[in-house]
Amino acid sequence: MSEPILLDRCKYILTLDDKGRILENASILLDEGLIECVGDGCSGRSGIVVDCRGSIAMPALYNAHTHAAMTMLRGLHDDSELHEWLKYMWRVEAKLTPSIVYLASKLAVFEMASTGTAGFIDMYFHPLETARAAEELGIRAKVGPVLMEDSGFEEWRRKLRSIAGSLKGLASPIANVHSLYKVSPETVRAAYDEATRLNSQLHIHVAETRREVYEIHRRYGVFPVELLGRIGALGSNTILVHMGWAASWEYRLAVERKAGIVHCPASNMKLATAGQLPLRELLESGGRVALGTDGAASNNSLDMFREMRIAVFLQRHGYWDTGVSALHALSSAVKHGASLLGVDAGVVEEGRKADLVLLDAGSLYLQPLRKDNLISAIVYAATGRDVTHTIVNGRLIYSRGRNLEEWRREAAGITDRLSDFLYSILG
């Protein structure tokens, strides 16, 4: 277990507790992976002391849907439409090797850890390589093989069981199914049963495009979320990703069944899939809606601070209404993200998991920073570049002063190897 850490005299602590408290000039003591003390009387008992006088301390963020190794495809065919763009992606993905996935995942983990993300839910090939990259840095990850077609079910299940048996620490398995347009309802149900058996979750892209919704309705006579409900694959361990093109009764059904929902606003806008997920209504009716970046090829960033800002702006643009607030986006990225990752975190209070972030309160573009505009500054003005420290499970995994230069050098070496790989395929 890691040494105790004292975050000493933080300028602000954004607790995100039920009372919405923001503490000033207070400290946080972390020990054995948990928050042990919050307030004035925490000092003098620690191993590592971080001078927090110029910092905002807050709960860490979670990226609830990504394809980490797609960093290797960042900036590739940025201006194609979704189905055209997917063809390019699949051409490269057909040639992937475990070592390429490991290197590209490492880039993603560097980016996420240095921008305040404590954990992610991943859907990609060679999942053990992504888990390895995450574990080496100490960030949480849910990984698993991706079921792309019915004929691959037995092999998928064998791999998922094997992964579930081998993962340890902060990585855990997840049952990834690409979508209802690639996998039949019977097989999706079998995958859901497998997820339940492993005490895991079914993680699936749903209602992302109009084309998908039409296709599912043409084949089965119902809409995608209805279909999941009808086949018995919609429950609290189902994670529905995208959901921009669901009907009002499908949203209600998802909330009733306590399914997790992941909103990926930047990816939806960049790929021009349109649709509109009703974030505020879902949150206010008790929905568990987290945020995800999707892969770096369709975003092109894994920075969850940027994702929060864009989530609010997309809602306001779509509804001509300012009802969705910075706090809605923050609770999605923090509390609901923690819930979907199965981490008892998302609030700075004693006994919770110690997943925390420090931001530089002196950043020029956050000024004038005050207690009363703190949440606004974090969601609308801050970016991941303001993160100075990331703590996961009570361990300091990123300190800007200590790690940034070293990670940049390592990323440059990885970039050379990934570029060689891409040129060998695409010319």
Residues within the interface to Zn ion (CB under 5 A): 294
Of the pair 8, 294, the CB lying nearest Zn ion is at 294
Asked if the bond preceding 300 is cis, omega within 30° of 0, the reply is yes
Number of H helices, E strands in the chain: 15, 18
Of the pair 31, 294, the CB lying nearest Zn ion is at 294
Of the pair 129, 294, the CB lying nearest Zn ion is at 294
Q: Which residues pair with 10 in a beta bridge?
A: 26
DSSP string covering 147-216: E-SGGGHHHHHHHHHHHHHH--TTEEE-EEEEETTTS-HHHHHHHHHHHHHTT--EEEEES-SHHHHHHH
Q: Give least dist CB 55 to Zn ion, A.
A: 33
Q: Give least dist CB 196 to Zn ion, A.
A: 22
Q: Give least dist CB 419 to Zn ion, A.
A: 24
Q: Give least dist CB 205 to Zn ion, A.
A: 6
Nearest to 38 by CA among 10, 18, 2: 10
Of the pair 22, 213, the CB lying nearest Zn ion is at 213
- 162: amino acid identity, one letter: S
Cα–Cα dist 419/308, whole Å = 31
Class of residue 412 by CB neighbours under 10 A (exposed 0-12, middle 13-18, buried 19+): exposed
Q: Using alpha carbons only, what angle is made at residue 23 by residues 60 and 303, rounded to the nearest 5 degrees? A: 25
Q: Give least dist CB 148 to Zn ion, A.
A: 13
Of the pair 36, 208, the CB lying nearest Zn ion is at 208
What 3-state DSSP class applies to 328?
helix
Check: CB of residue 222 under 8 Å from CB of residue 207. Answer: no
CB count within 10 Å of CB 24 equals 10
Check: CB of residue 302 under 8 Å from CB of residue 115. Answer: yes
Cα–Cα dist 330/59, whole Å = 10
CB count within 10 Å of CB 3 equals 12
State the pairing for strand pair 175-179/202-206: parallel
Q: Give least dist CB 361 to Zn ion, A.
A: 34
Q: Give least dist CB 292 to Zn ion, A.
A: 8
Q: Give least dist CB 140 to Zn ion, A.
A: 19
Of the pair 111, 294, the CB lying nearest Zn ion is at 294
What 3-state DSSP class applies to 421?
helix
Of the pair 64, 254, the CB lying nearest Zn ion is at 64
The backbone torsions φ and ψ at residue 53, rounded to the nearest 5 degrees and listed phi first, read: -65, -25
Name the residue with tokens 């207690």: 371
Tokens of 423: 């040129």
Q: Give least dist CB 121 to Zn ion, A.
A: 10
